[in-house]
Amino acid sequence: MTTPQILSFAVTFVMMAAFVWGRYRYDLVAAVALLLALAVGIVPFDEAFSGFSDDIVVIVGSALLVSAGIARSGIMEAAIKRFAPKLSGVRSQLALLVIVVTILSAFVKNIGALAIMIPIAFQFARRSNISPSIFLMPMAFGSLLGGLMTQVGTSPNIVVSRVREELIGTAFTMFDFTPVGAAIAAAGTIFLLFFYWLLPVREKHGGSLNEALDIKNYPTE
How many CB atoms lie under 10 A from the CB of residue 26? 11
For 156-168, what is each residue's pLDDT tens digit?
888 888 889 889 9
Residue from 99, 103, 90, 171 nearest 131 by CA:
90
For 66-82, give the secondary structure using H, E and C. HHHHHHHHCHHHHHHHH
CA separation (Å) from 118 to 37, 50, 135, 140?
36, 34, 9, 10
What does the pLDDT read at residue 212?
Answer: 35
Distance between the two ends of the chain, CA-based, in angstroms? 60
Place 85 in a pLDDT band, splitting at 50, 70 and 90: low
Helix (H) or strand (E) holding 27: helix 26-40
Cα(156)–Cα(112) distance, integer angstroms: 16
For 96-122, what is each residue's pLDDT tens digit?
899 999 998 888 777 778 878 888 888
